[in-house]
Structure formats: structure tokens, C-alpha cells
Amino acid sequence: MEEKCCQDKQGRCSGGINLSVFFKYILGLFLLVIGGWFILEYWNQLVLIFQGSIGLFLIVSGAIILAVAK
């Protein structure tokens, strides 16, 4: 069986999460909170945009189906 070496280039062994992974978790949580807040704050505008895009979605999906069906 092969042993895993946890030493980096300087010969140190890092036992936890490195700084870049920690920063990515913090950034991801921050974006989730801000995204949730925007959805709650601008719900009426979001519903209006969704209702306005239904027709365009149906037109594009119909064109794709017709193009594939040939």
C-alpha cells in the first residue's frame, strides 16, 4: 500500500484547509447570502421578468425542436 505524503515543496505538512479553499468557502457563502437577499428584495421584478420570458422560451424551444426534427 502506498503512503500519502502531506509535505509541500518547503517540507511542511499542512494538516488543515489551505487559505485559498477557505477564501472560496467565504466567497461562496457571501454570494449565497447576497443572492438570497436580492431574490427576497426584488421578488416582484423577478416574477415579471420570468413571465415576460416564457413566450421567448417557447418560441426558441419550438424552433429547436423543428430544427432537430428535420
pLDDT in tens, 44-68: 999 999 999 999 999 999 999 999 9
Do 15 and 6 touch, CB atoms closer than 8 A?
Answer: yes
Give the pLDDT mean for 25-38.
94
Q: State how far the Cα of 1 lies from the Cα of 9, in Å rounded to an integer.
A: 23
Maximal CA-CA distance, the chain = 63
Least confident of 7-11, 21-25, 31-35: 7-11
Instruction: Please give the DSSP secondary-structure letter assigned to residue 11.
Output: S
Phi, psi (5° rounding) for residue 7? -85, 140
